[in-house]
A and B are shown apart, each in its own frame.
Chain A
Amino acid sequence: MLALKGNRTTLSTLALALLCGLFGTQGALAGDTSGTMRVGDMQYGNGLDPRGWTPMLYPADPDGMSYLHAGMLRTPTGALYPYPLLIDAGKPVGQGDWTYSGLLEFGYLHVGGDRNAEYFRQYDDWKSGAVLGLFALDFNNRKTGSYVDLRGSRISGDDQFYRLRGGRYGSYRVEGFYRDMPHTVSTSAYPIWNGVGSTDLTLPSSLVAGASTPAQVAAVSAATPRRSIGLTRTRSGLSYEGVLYRNWIGSAAITNEKRTGTRLWGGSMFFNFPFPDNGGVLETVRPIDFRTTDINLSVRNVGKLWHFLATYNGSFFRNHKDHLDFENPFALYNVVGTPQVADIKDGQFSLEPDNDYHNIRLDLSRELKGNGQFTVAGAWGTMRQNAALLPPTACTGTGGIFIAPPVNYTFQCANWNTTAALSRQNANARIDTGLFDARVTFQPAPAFGWHAGLRWYREDDKTRYLAYNPLTGQYGYISENGSQGSVVPGETGIFDPTNPLYWSSNVTVRNNPFGYTDSIFELGSDWQLGRKTSLGVTYTYDHNQPKYRERKRVDDQRIKFDWVSRDVIGATVRLSWEYAKRDGDKYNYDPYAQFFSESLPGFVDPATGLPAHTVADMRKYDLSNRTESKARAIVTYPWGESATLSATFYGNRDNYDALIGRQTTNTTGATVQWDWQPTPATTMNAYLGVEGSRMGISNVGDSDAPDNGAGLGTIGQTNPNLGGPLYPYANQWWEFDRESNRNAGLSFSHDFGRARADISYNYTGSFGHVGYTYASIGALAYRDPAGVAAAEAGFPDNKYRTNTLDLGLSFRVNRNVGVRLYGRYETGAFSDWHYAGLDNTLSYDHRLYTDKGGQLHYSVSLVGVMLNLKL
């Protein structure tokens, strides 16, 4: 009847209706949150209750949503809406119009089993003790529409959240929150240093810095007690959003984050692998002591024709522990020349500097004649940092190597260990960004629409630093805390145009201010094929101009087809397929000469020429020629009245046109999920997911030894080509990482009346295999018989598996009191070859590790009893 007649007129008014709706606002303001315009803090929950309000969800209203029909309706796509909860009308507060309702759930939690399992504690601070499951208090004034909400939950002092909101519907809202979020990085760490968590790591008294033997260090490491490495994020914020004047809505938010703790770090005192009993590779522990303050302001005016939105985002990062000093236990010695003159034992890191960020953005939309819309946006941003720089080194005395006069590769640390050795005292680093985006959408006919867009973005790094030492007139730096130049002659990192020993030394002397300009043009159209099906095509041309990279121009063209049908035997099916091809201008394998000392006056090419910067056939995968195709299908099938079956299928195939570098990436996967809710008292859900992926790369070992080509050190080292003397074909190798992931789960919840039972089981399993092939053993790092045999055996497989079983039983004692028994049993298995062998010892010659890695197996249980009070 109406539908048939209305079909034609309907479609023509569709877009009109949408655009009218969009622009025909009669000044009606909606108090929706601007939280969706800010990054972060949209979800408050914890491991005990990821939703953040689950105790308030029960019981469900046994009458359901309607007396007119059973069950629940579905979303337009076909997913079922859950049954609503039983309404708590609230109790009056005194004599006025305010009512309140609330819930308090608290109890005792006990953790048993492997409570220190790393993956069990990753983001939860499980502790045996009292827990606050949920404290919720809601006040409402039905007459004025004012409200005050409070929510809080606490597992421990490091894992809790509280949030207070108040306001008046359609008028304004004020919110304040405080939350602590833990992150455990490792629970089996054995750092030998004192002062873990501070900026100074000192060796225990039994070890002498720079003079200890591997055996002594290994003994100390074996006796070090276990500790955990991790950090806590504490966030607090205040925000306001409300009607400023007539149609103007503004919002303001200030958020502060304090992040404290420790993380695993490193420490380099030159290689150990080519020099037995020399060098030093230390896994240290760095402090984390950050403060970040964010300010977000916005003002918007949604009028009849124009939609206006202006936003300011500011972020101010302060690092209260912005450097790390560590003592190196191992003794270094120079491979040539005697006597030993250098005493390198102190290491230093500059950690992240304080930075400021500002971004101002303006978005404007306007309705156009002929069912159109025009949107334009512009943004300007800047990131700045001007921290005081540390001196190039922390060494004392003499560094370097003295061979025999006149071959003197030593340097005086005093010339390099003060800020007088710097070309400037502060970093003076700055990146400015600019964005311009314009889009236009038209719906000229009922079944046809088209859109076009243009986006331009530029990132401009204005940092310019020259590594020049005014005290000595030399360029460069002191590499690896002075160790490199003290083990191998001439590799300190210094370029000196007046010194024949250093005037062929090719070292970094300038910073590379990477930046880019990215322009994207998009053109697309949609056709409505019948009432329930649509087809769309979009073409995108991405023109990227990187600065100071291997390519000056990278163009990525992409075509995307999408097909949506709401009734494929009752199911909604969304399919999309896209194909992209990237190419660009000539690939210059070495555009970096201008940042190295080879570009400075006075540089003398060595007799054998400089070794090629890298192999000319290498293609860095963010710039290389590449074809990509992606396909995805999302299917939602309404199964009967109370079940939904949904599935996704997806696959990506990337092929990079590179002889050396990343060559392929494939991913294929599928998920299927079944949801069932026959009555308000029962829900059940089961899901399965599989995904397989593979990444393949190729690389080539340079011929740096007599037994793999002996090209390095000869004139052939200037030849950058694959197949040349420096990078012979015989040394080429290929590596792939194949991963397979499986997920499965089942959950069931039923309300028996007086009691409610819920059970949930989740399984995650990942398996990874890294394999490799090589043209000849010349590619290998170790070419002796034992090494070759081990190489042929291959890496052991990586795996990560967790099984989690959750059981809950809630009793309703009377109308206001309930008891909840809760149990979780989790087991896991983990294996990663990066940690193979570390269980036995963390000390390998001059290498000292701290983290033994995640537990190979763990099983842990949580048992909790909670009292549930309705307030």
Chain B
Amino acid sequence: MRVISLFLAASICVVLGAGGMVLGSHDAQAQQAAATSPTDASHSPSSGLSQSDIAKMLPATDMGAHAARANNPHLAPVDDSQATPFDAASIPVNPLAPNADAVGAKTCVACHSQENVQASHSLHVGAFRAGAANSGPQAACESCHGPGSEHAKNPTAPGSIIAFTHDAKTSPQVQAGVCLSCHAGGARQHWIGSIHQNRGLSCTDCHNPMAKLSPEGVLAKSSINEVCATCHQDIRAKFNRRSHMPLPEGQIACTDCHNPHGSITKPLLKTDTVNETCYTCHAEKRGPFLFEHAPVRANCLNCHDVHGSNQQTLLVAPIPMLCQQCHTMTRHPNDLQSAAGLANGPHPDERLIGRGCLSCHSNIHGSNNPSGPKFHE
């Protein structure tokens, strides 16, 4: 199965699609929300706003959005509208301030103007604002932070708003619950019970939707690897060893193999087993081969240290010591190779020099040759 011109076809498709999107922008203007009615001069309390109140607010707020929609026959029903699903985002309950009311994004931005500048260019809030500007009331700041009336009156009261940072009184479980109300499922299907959840991590330990700190993934640092290295410094240091996969060179990330949001395969792997994760990039080792090597088929980690090693090709021990942990058959595997066998020693020995055992047993991951039971061919 050859996929020769895949890239060519793909790039043509995507470029045409992108071009279509850019050139077809005149359609967007036709989608603008039309609803405005003369300003209502009533000073209603923070709940029970009329549609016109909401409509004239920029950026938009959500206060009783569902009720307003249900009562207004002129608005398209949420499910069938062309608007993005952000229109249906609701305001979470803040267990530490159950009596708070929503105040709307405009109120928030009045004091937090610089935060607004940063946030509106982050993927998360930007996406909210951009796609959601088309039809009716939408949620904004309060769809994550909960209703803000208590916080507006007394900003430092602990727990008055759902906060996601170090000094927040909001518990990590409530914080994660807010994010998961939209982002559940998919890669986060197994968050509950995962080790990061179990250790009390909140989504904002790794993500920060308030500013554009990373090109994608809405991360808390400027790249995936830096986020993971915040806590897993020892693993990151291992990648600097002589034999390593190209993580320091920026070509792979921790999340190429691991799913930090939780998974059913220890340790947080994306596939059913360790080996299947390795085979995704090293498909040649998948086989199955005619003659298998037991430790290879059981678990790649029997011989390799994936995060970095001081031996060649990510091995956990130098050859021949690695092989001599299991092989003590008669004749040549079980002699103690000493400095006498080095190339510059008195008795250069093929079992020690260079690739050692692998100079003859080269097909060590398994052989598909009828003469390969001992991996010579």
* CB contact list, B208-255 vs A, under 8 A: 208, 210-213, 215-217, 220-226, 230-234, 237-238, 240-242, 246-253, 255
The residue among B1, B310, B330, B362 with the most chain A CB atoms within 10 A of its own CB is B330
CB-based nearest A residue for B331: A704
Interface contact A81-B208, CB-CB below 8 Å = yes
Interface contact B234-A14, CB-CB below 8 Å = no
Chain A proximity mask over B51-89: 1 for CB below 8 Å, otherwise 0: 000000000000000000000000000110000111011
Taking a contact as CB atoms closer than 8 A, the residue among A2, A365, A534, A800 that contacts B96 in the complex is A2
Interface contact B288-A385, CB-CB below 8 Å = yes
State A790–B341 Cα separation when bound (angstroms): 9
Q: How close is B150's CB to chain A, nearest CB, in angstroms?
A: 8
Interface contact B84-A350, CB-CB below 8 Å = no
Q: With A37-B259, A52-B250, A349-B377 in contact, is A98–B22 under 8 Å at CB?
A: yes
Chain B residues, Cβ within 8 Å of A348: 369, 377
Interface contact B285-A352, CB-CB below 8 Å = yes
B28 CB within 8 Å of chain A: yes
B372 CB within 8 Å of chain A: yes
Interface contact B339-A76, CB-CB below 8 Å = no
Interface size class of B (residues with CB under 8 A): 35 or more
Interface contact A622-B350, CB-CB below 8 Å = no
Chain A proximity mask over B1-29: 1 for CB below 8 Å, otherwise 0: 11100110011011101100110011011
Q: How close is B228's CB to chain A, nearest CB, in angstroms?
A: 11
State A267–B246 Cα separation when bound (angstroms): 29
Interface contact A309-B319, CB-CB below 8 Å = no
State A124–B288 Cα separation when bound (angstroms): 32
Interface contact B368-A271, CB-CB below 8 Å = no
Chain B proximity mask over A776-818: 1 for CB below 8 Å, otherwise 0: 0001111010111011011110101010000000000000000
Chain B residues, Cβ within 8 Å of A281: 350, 359-360
A292 CB within 8 Å of chain B: yes
Q: How close is B203's CB to chain A, nearest CB, in angstroms?
A: 9
Q: How close is B155's CB to chain A, nearest CB, in angstroms?
A: 9
Q: How close is B42's CB to chain A, nearest CB, in angstroms?
A: 29
Interface contact A266-B185, CB-CB below 8 Å = no
Interface contact B200-A534, CB-CB below 8 Å = yes
State A700–B324 Cα separation when bound (angstroms): 10
Interface contact B130-A307, CB-CB below 8 Å = no
State A62–B6 Cα separation when bound (angstroms): 45
State A767–B290 Cα separation when bound (angstroms): 39
State A787–B330 Cα separation when bound (angstroms): 21
Taking a contact as CB atoms closer than 8 A, the residue among A300, A515, A735 that contacts B336 in the complex is A735
CB-based nearest A residue for B89: A28
CB-based nearest A residue for B291: A511
State A43–B329 Cα separation when bound (angstroms): 45
State A294–B1 Cα separation when bound (angstroms): 11
Q: With A76-B168, A79-B220, A317-B284 in contact, is A143–B193 under 8 Å at CB?
A: no
Interface contact B370-A702, CB-CB below 8 Å = no
Interface contact A355-B288, CB-CB below 8 Å = yes
B36 CB within 8 Å of chain A: no
Q: How close is B9's CB to chain A, nearest CB, in angstroms?
A: 8
* CB contact list, A104-125 vs B, under 8 A: 119, 122-124
State A94–B204 Cα separation when bound (angstroms): 38
Interface contact B96-A3, CB-CB below 8 Å = yes
Q: How close is B27's CB to chain A, nearest CB, in angstroms?
A: 8
* CB contact list, B277-307 vs A, under 8 A: 277, 279-281, 283-292, 294-295, 297-299, 302
The residue among B133, B183, B310, B356 with the most chain A CB atoms within 10 A of its own CB is B310
Taking a contact as CB atoms closer than 8 A, the residue among B133, B198, B331 that contacts A536 in the complex is B198
Taking a contact as CB atoms closer than 8 A, the residue among A65, A73, A256 that contacts B6 in the complex is A256
Q: With A21-B178, A837-B343, A847-B348 in contact, is A39–B231 under 8 Å at CB?
A: no
* CB contact list, A751-777 vs B, under 8 A: 762, 764, 766, 768, 770, 772, 774
The residue among B117, B128, B233, B358 with the most chain A CB atoms within 10 A of its own CB is B233
CB-based nearest B residue for A166: B18
Q: With A164-B18, A764-B241 in contact, is A75–B286 under 8 Å at CB?
A: no
Chain B residues, Cβ within 8 Å of A25: 181-182, 184
Chain B residues, Cβ within 8 Å of A774: 336
Stretch at the interface among A134-142, A398-406, A497-505: A134-142
Interface contact B193-A699, CB-CB below 8 Å = no
Q: With A36-B261, A56-B215, A82-B213 in contact, is A441–B193 under 8 Å at CB?
A: yes
Chain A residues, Cβ within 8 Å of B342: 790, 795, 833, 836-837
CB-based nearest B residue for A740: B310
Number of interface residues of A (CB under 8 A): 289
Chain B residues, Cβ within 8 Å of A762: 240
B166 CB within 8 Å of chain A: yes
Q: How close is B240's CB to chain A, nearest CB, in angstroms?
A: 4
CB-based nearest A residue for B198: A536
State A689–B223 Cα separation when bound (angstroms): 21
CB-based nearest B residue for A119: B242
State A339–B17 Cα separation when bound (angstroms): 76
A481 CB within 8 Å of chain B: yes
A84 CB within 8 Å of chain B: yes
Stretch at the interface among A190-198, A205-213, A424-432, A601-609: A424-432
Taking a contact as CB atoms closer than 8 A, the residue among A171, A459, A786 that contacts B84 in the complex is A171
The residue among B3, B132, B297, B377 with the most chain A CB atoms within 10 A of its own CB is B377
Interface contact A174-B14, CB-CB below 8 Å = yes
A585 CB within 8 Å of chain B: no
CB-based nearest B residue for A84: B211
The residue among B178, B180, B250 with the most chain A CB atoms within 10 A of its own CB is B250
CB-based nearest B residue for A357: B286
Q: How close is B254's CB to chain A, nearest CB, in angstroms?
A: 9
State A63–B355 Cα separation when bound (angstroms): 57
CB-based nearest A residue for B86: A170
A838 CB within 8 Å of chain B: yes
Chain B residues, Cβ within 8 Å of A768: 310, 318
Taking a contact as CB atoms closer than 8 A, the residue among A615, A695, A702 that contacts B316 in the complex is A695
Q: With A27-B85, A28-B182 in contact, is A17–B173 under 8 Å at CB?
A: yes
Interface contact A662-B325, CB-CB below 8 Å = yes
Interface contact A427-B96, CB-CB below 8 Å = no
Q: How close is B327's CB to chain A, nearest CB, in angstroms?
A: 8
Q: With A38-B270, A648-B234, A838-B354 in contact, is A76–B202 under 8 Å at CB?
A: yes
B145 CB within 8 Å of chain A: no
State A44–B217 Cα separation when bound (angstroms): 13
Q: With A316-B1, A441-B192, A634-B231 in contact, is A238–B281 under 8 Å at CB?
A: no
Chain B proximity mask over A1-39: 1 for CB below 8 Å, otherwise 0: 111001001110111011111111111111111101111
A678 CB within 8 Å of chain B: no
Chain A residues, Cβ within 8 Å of B211: 65, 81, 84
Chain A residues, Cβ within 8 Å of B202: 75-76
Chain A residues, Cβ within 8 Å of B280: 39-40, 294, 315
Q: With A21-B178, A79-B220, A238-B6 in contact, is A614–B329 under 8 Å at CB?
A: yes
B140 CB within 8 Å of chain A: no
CB-based nearest B residue for A88: B121
State A355–B198 Cα separation when bound (angstroms): 39
Stretch at the interface among A215-223, A375-383, A407-415, A857-865: A375-383
Q: How close is A220's CB to chain B, nearest CB, in angstroms?
A: 18
Chain B residues, Cβ within 8 Å of A309: 185-186, 189
Q: How close is A760's CB to chain B, nearest CB, in angstroms?
A: 12
Interface contact B111-A14, CB-CB below 8 Å = no
Taking a contact as CB atoms closer than 8 A, the residue among A31, A44, A50, A181 that contacts B127 in the complex is A31
Interface contact B85-A170, CB-CB below 8 Å = yes
* CB contact list, B118-149 vs A, under 8 A: 118, 121, 126-134
Interface contact A352-B134, CB-CB below 8 Å = no
Q: How close is B22's CB to chain A, nearest CB, in angstroms?
A: 6
Can you report 8 residue pairs joining A to B where beta carbons are below 8 Å apart?
A14-B173, A145-B127, A266-B361, A389-B369, A614-B328, A726-B330, A791-B339, A836-B342
Contacts A350-B367, A375-B264 supplied; 7 other A-B pairs, CB < 8 Å:
A14-B174, A44-B251, A76-B202, A273-B347, A385-B288, A477-B372, A661-B328
User: Which 3 residue pairs spanning A and B have beta carbons closest together?
Assistant: A45-B250, A21-B177, A145-B131
